[in-house]
Amino acid sequence: MIKKILEVSFKKDGQHSPLYLQLESEIIQLICRGILKPGQALPSSRELAQSLQLNRKTVVATYEELDAQGWVETKDRSGVYVSSHLPDTSARTIEENSKKLRRSRQPAYPLIKQRASDGGILTDPDRSVNDLKVPPPLYKIDDGFPDPRIAPIDQLVREYRRFGKGRSSSQFLMYGPEQGSYRLRVELAKFLNRTRGMQVTEKEILITKGTQMAIYLTAQLLIRPGDTVCVPEPGYMDANQTFKLAGANLVFVPVDKDGMDVDRIERLCKKKVPKMVYIIPHHHRPTTVTLCAERRMRLMDLARQYGFALLEDDYDFDYHFTSSPLLPLASLDMGRHIIYVGSFCKSIAPGIRIGFMVAPEVVINEAAALRKLIDRQGEQLLEEATAELLSTGDIARHIKKSHKVYQDRLENTCRLLREQLGEYLTFDRPNGGLAIWATYRKNISASAVALNAGKLGLKISDGSNYFFQPNVSTPRDFIRIGYCSLDETEMAGAIHIWKQALAPFAAR
C-alpha cells in the first residue's frame, strides 16, 4: 500500500536537486498529511528502490536522513518505521482543501491591507556588544556572522560591472519592479525549490534588503494594535521590537533543547488565538537549537486548526554539520499558513543586502506596495549580479567551500573553549549555524566580563539582548559566540584576551 502511494506521489522535480532529498521531502509530506502514521512500517530500501526505479543507495540515504532528523526510527532486524514519537494527524480532507488553496493561492490567515499607525518606536539600543569609549578592539567575537574575506566578491563585482556597462545597462539604472529583479526571483525560486524542498514561483517571492525588512513588512501587513504574537524567549530582539512597533502584545514562549515549547502555544490557542507565531525552527537565534520533528508537525497542525500565521525566519539554513539541514516548515505548508523569510547575508556577507520573503502571491503584492512607500525598490545591478551567480552555480560553490571552512573553525573554537575557558563556562557543540550558545558558570557576570574584555581589546556580548522581558528572575549570564568571522589564529588571540578578562572570577 505504501509503495503504491509513493509510486503515485513521488515525481522527480526536474530541478536537479538530489533524488534522496526529493524522496525525503515526499515522505515527510505524507507523514505530515497523516497518510503515513506513527509506528507504521516503511518498505525496505530494496523494495522501495525497485518500486520507484531508484538506486538502492538513494533510498538508504533517504532513510538515514529521516532517521537523523527524527521522522523515522530504525529497529534492528525489523526495518524502518515512522517515528512513534510523532503526533497522529490522521488523513484529513486536507488534500482537497490544499488543492483549492493552490488554485486560488490565497493565504490561510487574515491580511490587513490598510492599517492605522499606532504605538511608538522602542528606544532600546543594540546592546549585543559592550559600548565603551576605548580604542578600536583588537578582536571582536560577533553574534554569528560569516567571514566576508572568503565571500565570492570578485565574481559579484565582475557581474555587477558587466551589467553596468552592457547594452542593457540603462534599464537597470531606471526604476524596476517593486518585487525585485524578475530574473533574481526566477533563479531564487529554482534555488529554494532545489535546496529547501519548496514549490514556489517567482510570483510568490519579494526581494528585500535582508531578513529584517521582510519581518517588518510582515508585521505591518498582519498585525493590528492589540493583536497577540507569540515569540520565543530567549529570542531575537530586533524582531520583537518590530512586532511591538506594529502594536502587538507579545506572548513569550520558552525555548528548550527541542526548540519552541509548542505545548505553551496550544494552551494559549485554547484561550485566545494569536494572530501570528514567529519562529526560528532551524538554528534558533540565540540558542542554536533546532525544532524537533514532532513539534514541527504539531505546530503546523495548530496553525491549520486555529488559522494563525507562522512567520518562519530561516536566516542561516545553509550551514548544518551533523546531517543535511532539516527542510523548512514552508516546504510542508499545504495550507498556506507560512510566510518564509531569509537572506544571503549569512551565506555571503552581512553587507550584501539581498533578502527574500516567500508567501502567497496576494501577500507578496501587498508587501511590494508597502515596500514601495519606504524604499521604492532594491538595487537592480546588485540583484542582477546575484541572479547571475545563482544561475552559474557560483553561490552554491561558495556555500560548499565555506561549509568546510566553518566546520573546521567550529571544531577549533570548541577545542579552545574547552581547553582555555572550561572552568568559566559551559556549552554544547551546535549541530550547525554560525554561533555557539554558552552559559557562564555561577557568579560570573556577562556584563562584567564584557567590560573587562573591552578594556583589554576584545569586544564581546554582555548578554543583555537575548531576553526581552524586563524584571524576570531568569539568570542572564549567557553569551552567543560567533566563530566564523575569525580564523584559527584570530580566535586563539581573542580567547586569550577573554581568559584574561575572566581571571578576576577564577578565585570565586
Please give the radius of gyration of the chain, using alpha carbons only, rounded to the nearest integer: 23
Answer for the pair 329, 336: CB distance below 8 angstroms, yes or no. Answer: no
The reported pLDDT for the residue numbered 13 is 56
Question: What is the Cα–Cα distance from 458 to 140, expressed in whole angstroms?
Answer: 6
Question: What is the Cα–Cα distance from 482 to 441, expressed in whole angstroms?
Answer: 19
pLDDT band of 115, cuts 50, 70, 90:
very low
Pairing of the two strands 458-459 and 425-427: unpaired
Mean pLDDT of the chain: 85
Judge whether 14 lies within some domain.
Answer: yes
pLDDT at 95 over 60: no
Task: Give the position of cell 539581498.
Answer: 354
> Domain check: are 363 and 245 in the same one?
yes
Judge whether 194 lies within some domain.
Answer: no
Answer for the pair 283, 316: CB distance below 8 angstroms, yes or no. Answer: yes
pLDDT band of 140, cuts 50, 70, 90:
very high
> Domain check: are 288 and 370 in the same one?
yes
Short-list 33, 8, 24, CA closest to 80:
24
Residue type, 302: L
pLDDT band of 163, cuts 50, 70, 90:
confident
Short-list 262, 335, 330, 256, CA closest to 294:
262
Judge whether 275 lies within some domain.
Answer: yes
Rounded average pLDDT over 252-267: 96
**Strands, DSSP E only, in 163-222?**
205-208
Which tens digits make up the pLDDT trace of 198-225? Answer: 889 999 999 999 899 999 999 999 999 9
Please name every residue paired with 277 in a beta bridge, in sequence order, or none if there are none: 230, 310
> Domain check: are 351 and 403 in the same one?
no
> Domain check: are 367 and 219 in the same one?
yes
Judge whether 344 lies within some domain.
Answer: yes
The reported pLDDT for the residue numbered 406 is 94
Task: Give the position of cell 514519537.
Answer: 85
Rounded average pLDDT over 107-131: 50
> Domain check: are 233 and 365 in the same one?
yes
Short-list 493, 492, 498, CA closest to 452:
498
Rounded average pLDDT over 463-478: 76
pLDDT band of 439, cuts 50, 70, 90:
very high
**CATH number of the domain encompassing residue 50:** 1.10.10.10
Q: How many domains does the chain have?
A: 3
Short-list 40, 1, 52, 364, CA closest to 24:
52
Does the N-terminal peptide bond of residue 234 adopt cis geometry, omega within 30 degrees of 0?
yes
The secondary structure element, H or E, covering residue 436 is: strand 435-440
The reported pLDDT for the residue numbered 120 is 41
**CATH number of the domain encompassing residue 279:** 3.40.640.10
- Cα separations in angstroms, 170 against 176, 179, 210, 483: 11, 19, 25, 42
pLDDT at 185 over 90: yes
Most confident by average pLDDT, 67-71, 157-161, 401-405: 401-405
> Domain check: are 68 and 204 in the same one?
no
The answer to which of 115-129, 338-352, 417-431 has the lowest mean pLDDT is 115-129
User: What is the grid cell recorded at 185?
Assistant: 526571483
User: What is the grid cell recorded at 248?
Assistant: 502587538
pLDDT band of 380, cuts 50, 70, 90:
confident
**CATH number of the domain encompassing residue 473:** 3.90.1150.10
pLDDT top residue among 124 and 100 = 100
**End residue of a domain, out of 346, 377, 408:** 377
Rounded average pLDDT over 94-98: 48
Most confident by average pLDDT, 89-98, 160-169, 183-192: 183-192
Question: What is the Cα–Cα distance from 138 to 445, expressed in whole angstroms?
Answer: 22
Rounded average pLDDT over 232-259: 95
Short-list 290, 272, 276, CA closest to 337:
276
Question: What is the Cα–Cα distance from 268 to 119, expressed in whole angstroms?
Answer: 24
> Domain check: are 235 and 370 in the same one?
yes
Answer for the pair 346, 146: CB distance below 8 angstroms, yes or no. Answer: yes
The reported pLDDT for the residue numbered 117 is 39
User: What is the grid cell recorded at 103?
Assistant: 488554485
The secondary structure element, H or E, covering residue 50 is: helix 45-52
Judge whether 66 lies within some domain.
Answer: yes
> Domain check: are 335 and 251 in the same one?
yes
Answer for the pair 181, 384: CB distance below 8 angstroms, yes or no. Answer: yes
pLDDT at 93 over 50: no
The answer to which of 155-169, 212-226, 239-253, 308-322 has the lowest mean pLDDT is 155-169
pLDDT at 240 over 90: yes
The helix/strand/coil state of 78 is coil
The answer to which of 164-168, 170-174, 378-382, 446-450 has the lowest mean pLDDT is 170-174
Pairing of the two strands 355-358 and 276-279: unpaired
Pairing of the two strands 72-75 and 79-82: antiparallel
Rounded average pLDDT over 409-421: 97
> Domain check: are 281 and 252 in the same one?
yes
pLDDT at 94 over 50: no
pLDDT at 280 over 90: yes
Count of other CB atoms within 10 angstroms of residue 221: 21
Question: What is the Cα–Cα distance from 81 to 74, expressed in whole angstroms?
Answer: 6
**Strands, DSSP E only, in 270-351?**
276-279, 309-313, 338-343
Sheet holding 276-279, edge to edge: 205-208, 355-358, 338-343, 309-313, 276-279, 228-233, 249-256, 259-260
Judge whether 89 lies within some domain.
Answer: no
> Domain check: are 463 and 361 in the same one?
no
Domain residues for the domain of 52 are 2-82
The answer to which of 57-61, 275-279, 425-429, 488-492 has the lowest mean pLDDT is 57-61
pLDDT at 434 over 90: yes
- What region, left, alpha or beta, does residue 79 occupy, with left being phi > 0 and alpha being psi -120 to 50 degrees? left
> Domain check: are 436 and 356 in the same one?
no
Judge whether 264 lies within some domain.
Answer: yes
Pairing of the two strands 228-233 and 276-279: parallel
Which tens digits make up the pLDDT trace of 11-60? Answer: 655 555 678 878 888 888 888 878 888 988 999 988 888 888 889 889 89
Rounded average pLDDT over 421-428: 95
pLDDT band of 356, cuts 50, 70, 90:
very high
- Cα separations in angstroms, 407 against 120, 320, 397, 398, 417: 42, 9, 16, 14, 15
Task: Give the position of cell 574575506.
Answer: 149
pLDDT at 67 over 60: yes
Task: Give the position of cell 531578513.
Answer: 211
Count of other CB atoms within 10 angstroms of residue 351: 10
The reported pLDDT for the residue numbered 76 is 82
**End residue of a domain, out of 63, 82, 101:** 82
The helix/strand/coil state of 122 is coil
**Strands, DSSP E only, in 220-371?**
228-233, 249-256, 259-260, 276-279, 309-313, 338-343, 355-358
User: What is the grid cell recorded at 5?
Assistant: 502511494
Judge whether 26 lies within some domain.
Answer: yes
> Domain check: are 217 and 365 in the same one?
yes
The reported pLDDT for the residue numbered 362 is 94
Q: Which residues contact 218 (CB under 8 A, 6 or more apart)?
A: 276, 311, 339, 341, 357, 367
